[in-house]
Amino acid sequence: MIDLKNVTKSYGDTEAVKDLTLHVREGEIMGIIGHNGAGKTTTLKMIVGLITPTSGQIRVMNRDMTANGIDVKRFIGFLPEESSLYDKMTVTEYLLFFAELYGVGRRRARRRMAELLTSLDLPEREKRTGELSKGMRRKVAIARALLHDPQVLVLDEPNSGLDPLTSFFIIDYLKGLKETGKTLLVSAHNLFHIEYICDRVAILRDGQLLVCDTMEAIRESLGRREYEVVFKSDEPLDFEREEGNYVFRGSDVGQVASVLERVSENDWALVNLSVRESALEEIYVRLMRQ
């Protein structure tokens, strides 16, 4: 659906993106993360045709963005990190204006607007956009990106600066778009949200791709798995104690099995057996420090 092959973007002597090869599959949500200056926004802008790569090839829906950018853009919805709205227009006026730019007929545009604003829980449609809260303005920007019903959505920090409730509503909304068959490429600093909605995650550092895989595979190769065994015993034992229980924590499966065997043999009461796996944020921080 989205293919980057050996893509480089240079500004003078600075390479913002270096020899990047990346494939986003049809119908998936891919997250793209990295530190400030890692090349995320540059990559997204190249994909949607706002800037041209210095070298390499970008294809969207099997079309070359360099040669057929105007034709391809009608299949793409783009949400930049900062979405300035026309403050003196009402929500309805603003969306109808962009529908006309997209070539969406007035009747279809009104029907599409009604569907989007209802699903985004934005009832204040005759209010000027400049009078809306930041969360409501972000919802209007998302509606604008979806007006022409694009197959591909490229979103740069979709929930930047929003309160936790609005932020999670938007992330949940984006997750639901996958069920309609859309392909999403999402950049965000909130790694919990990326982990929550994405099928695969690409990690950039200094313009280069470090990792691109599913969360399961990333945890398997880069994460840590820690087991916790909590049990009760009246005997004095050489284990940590917490709230009246004995606790064993370790990453070695053999050690865990040995502890469980002792619990069973001595008829101690097993309270809990759990597994903790590394979160994306923990893996990301460790990668950045290498």
Q: What does the pLDDT look like over 149-180, one tens digit per residue?
A: 999 999 999 988 788 888 888 999 999 999 99
Instruction: Count Cα neighbours of 108 within 13 Å in the Cβ-side half-sphere.
Output: 11
Q: What token pair was written down for 100?
A: 């006309």
Mean pLDDT of the chain, nearest integer:
92
Domains of the chain: 2-220 (3.40.50.300), 224-289 (no CATH)
Whole-structure pTM value: 0.84
Nearest to 109 by CA among 93, 88, 86: 93
**Cα 251 to Cα 3: distance, rounded to the nearest angstrom:** 38
Mean pLDDT of 59-72: 83
The residue type at 60: V
Structure confidence at residue 220 as a pLDDT band (50, 70, 90): confident
Measured between alpha carbons, how far apart are the two ends of the chain, in Å? Answer: 32
CA angle 153–157–158, rounded 5-degree value: 60
pLDDT at residue 237 tops 80: yes
| Contact status, residue 201 vs residue 209, Cβ threshold 8 Å | no
**Cα 58 to Cα 66: distance, rounded to the nearest angstrom:** 7
